[in-house]
Amino acid sequence: MIEFSSLLLQHAVSELARLPGIGNKTALRLALHLLKEDGTRTEALTRALLKMKSDILLCKKCHNISDSDMCTICANPRRDENILCVVEDMRDVMAIERTACFNGLYHVLGGVINPVEGISPNDLNIVSLIERIENNDIQEVILALPATIEGDTTNFYIFRKLKEKTIRITTISKGVAIGDALEYADEITLGRSILNRTAFEMKK
Amino acid sequence: MIEFSSLLLQHAVSELARLPGIGNKTALRLALHLLKEDGTRTEALTRALLKMKSDILLCKKCHNISDSDMCTICANPRRDENILCVVEDMRDVMAIERTACFNGLYHVLGGVINPVEGISPNDLNIVSLIERIENNDIQEVILALPATIEGDTTNFYIFRKLKEKTIRITTISKGVAIGDALEYADEITLGRSILNRTAFEMKK
């Protein structure tokens, strides 16, 4: 327990310590840092946070975070409109964008089905996904959900909804991470990587 | 480099990433956390930070951070007014308070003498320390500055200013940390702990 000589400081520290991964000691360091810096830095920080919180929108097509009602990816005419990548949240969009391996559009579910936490298909952007597939010329849906039971459940739920339609449904490959030694891969991943082995290709 | 679909988010993340010890990935996690939570949490955080920044004062006696012009320690009639502990900054006050081993008053210098960074005695609360010692019945001054060259320089500077006065001047002991094995102590600390050895006392 940290003793404070100032309630104002204590209050600021306890608010900072509510952030994920920020403990009391880090919160104190951050608060003292802001106290030492000139006043405009704290103002700039708080203004940016409040503005983000009040003005940010969700893209009405893919539900990604956006500054207008159409995100920069959906609005980009050079993206392939026929491939849709279904992800859990916007961090996954960023992660896939960083690979530079995908040029289609995204659909952000906003979570995965999780009965324990009470997240049902109706809480996710699945209805809009089906509508989007029905109303556009989508040829492939890539399911890029987490490799967990909840992710698999959601994959299966979406697959059942789409199986009548004449589109290709794929999931991202699971297996040993590139650069990893086999002995460090867990048994389930290594087992899956053997069951799902692919034909060897010589790189030219 | 993280790609953002929202400039508002990007701006919030870059402001958060200016805080010490907060990198881009952590800043993104914090921003997305605030986005998910309901609006009042971000407001409470920003209000607490702005209020701390605008309303916090320094105790006019000891220069510790305070909500009024006299801090709770200086205002406490049960503290021993005859012993003064000189520290670098308010974090040191908190650290010493947590030990519950000191019942005197503090004097916060606001730094230590550091020619490389251009911090001279005039930038520190040394004049007010001397005045405080001259105008009050102080019997002992404990120098609790960091065990660095800068701390030692400051110790020596204050010692020279005070050596004419009939007060006891002490420094906190340096040596092997309690609970530490000798082999892990650095040579300088271990050497000092031998030179500054104290008479062995049986605990009853």
Average predicted confidence (pLDDT) for chain B: 89
Tokens 């500077």 appear where? B157
Examine the pLDDT at B23 and tell me if it is beyond 70.
Answer: yes
A199, pLDDT greater than 80: no
Residues B30 and B114 in one domain: no
Do the beta carbons of residue B101 and residue A35 sit within 8 Å? no
Alpha carbon A36 to its chain's center = 35
Coil/strand/helix, residue B84: strand
Q: How far apart are CA A111 and CA A124, in angstroms?
A: 6
Distance of CA B180 to the CA centre of its chain: 24
* Test the B interface: residue of A29, A52, A55, A94 with most B CBs within 10 Å: A52
Give this complex's ipTM.
Answer: 0.74
Nearest-CB residue to A19 (from B12, B33, B52): B33
Query: Would you say residue B117 lies in a domain?
Result: yes
Q: Do residue B54 and residue A65 have CB atoms under 8 angstroms apart?
A: no
Q: Within a domain: residue A112? A: yes
Q: Which chain A residues touch B97 with a CB distance below 8 Å? A: 3
Tell if the CB–CB gap between B5 and A59 is shorter than 8 Å: yes
Whether residue A81 sits in one domain with residue A50 = no
More confident residue, B116 or A204: B116
Nearest to B49 among A12, A53, A55 (CB): A12
Q: Looking at the structure, tell me whether residues A34 and A94 fall in a common domain.
A: no
In chain A, residues with a C-beta closer than 8 Å to the C-beta of B38 are none
Residue B139 in any domain: the answer is: yes
**Is B85 domain-assigned?**
yes
Is residue A42 over pLDDT 60?
Answer: yes
Residue B27 lies in a domain: yes
Q: Is A51 on the interface with B (CB under 8 A)?
A: yes
Which range (A65-74, A192-201, B49-58, B91-100) has the least confidence? A192-201
Residues B141 and B107 in one domain: yes
B99 in a domain, yes or no?
A: yes
How far apart (Å, rounded) are the C-alpha atoms in residues B53 and A33? 11
Range name among A84-93, B18-27, B110-119, B174-183 with the lowest pLDDT average:
B174-183
Name the residue among B35, B49, B67 with its Cβ closest to that of A42. Answer: B49
Closest to A34 (Cβ–Cβ): which among B30, B49, B73? B49
Q: Are strands B65-66 and B57-58 parallel, antiparallel or unpaired?
A: antiparallel
pLDDT interval class at B20 (50, 70, 90): very high
**CA–CA dist A139, A81 (Å, integer):** 9
Instruction: Work out how many domains chain A is built from and give that number.
Output: 2
Interface contacts A/B by beta carbons within 8 Å: 167
What phi, psi does B69 have (nearest 5°)?
-85, 5
**Given this model, what pLDDT does residue B78 score?**
94
What the block records as the tokens of A191 is 């087992």
Q: Which domain does B16 fall in, by range?
A: 7-55
Q: Which of B1, B2, B4, B5 is the mutation pick for testing A, counting most A CBs within 10 A? A: B5
Residue with tokens 């009391």: A24
- Identify the residue whose tokens are 């995100």: A71
Q: Let me know whether B90 and B19 are in one domain.
A: no
**A118 vs A187 pLDDT, higher one:** A118
A40 touches B at CB < 8 Å: no
**Residue A30 belongs to domain with CATH number:** 1.10.8.420
Helix (H) or strand (E) holding B87: strand B80-87
Chain B residues touching A91 at Cβ < 8 A: 28, 32
Chain B, nearest residue to A20 by Cα: B30
pLDDT digits (tens, 9 = 90+) for B116-158: 999 999 999 999 999 999 999 999 999 999 988 999 999 999 9
pLDDT, mean over chain A = 89
Cβ–Cβ below 8 Å for A5 and B30: no
Contact B42 A50 (CB under 8 A): yes
- Is A169 within 8 Å of A84 (Cβ atoms)? no
Alpha-carbon distance of A9 to A141, in angstroms, equals 51
**B56 and A CB contact within 8 Å:** yes
DSSP characters over chain A = ----S-HHHHHHHHHHTTSTT--HHHHHHHHHHHHHS-HHHHHHHHHHHHHHHHH-EE-TTT--EESSSS-TTTT-TTS-TTEEEEESSHHHHHHHHHHT---SEEEE-SS--BTTTTB-GGGTTHHHHHHHHHHTT--EEEE---SSHHHHHHHHHHHHHHTTSS-EEEE---SSPTT--GGGS-HHHHHHHHHT--------
pTM, entire model: 0.73
Give Cα B25 to chain centroid, integer Å.
29
Q: What is the domain-level CATH number for residue A156?
A: 3.40.1360.10
Least confident of A43-57, A109-123, A161-175, A181-195: A181-195
Q: How far is B92 from chain A (nearest CA, A)?
A: 11
Rounded CA gap, B12 and A202, in Å? 46
C-alpha to C-alpha distance for B138 and B167, rounded to whole angstroms: 7
**Is A122 inside a domain boundary?**
yes
Q: Which two three-digit tokens encode residue A153? A: 């459940």
How many C-beta atoms lie closer than 10 Å to residue A92's C-beta?
19
d(Cα B30, Cα B136) in Å, to the nearest integer? 49
Q: Where residue B1 falls among pLDDT bands split at 50, 70, 90?
A: low
**CB-based contact B45 A15, cutoff 8 Å:** yes
- Do the domain assignments include residue A21? yes
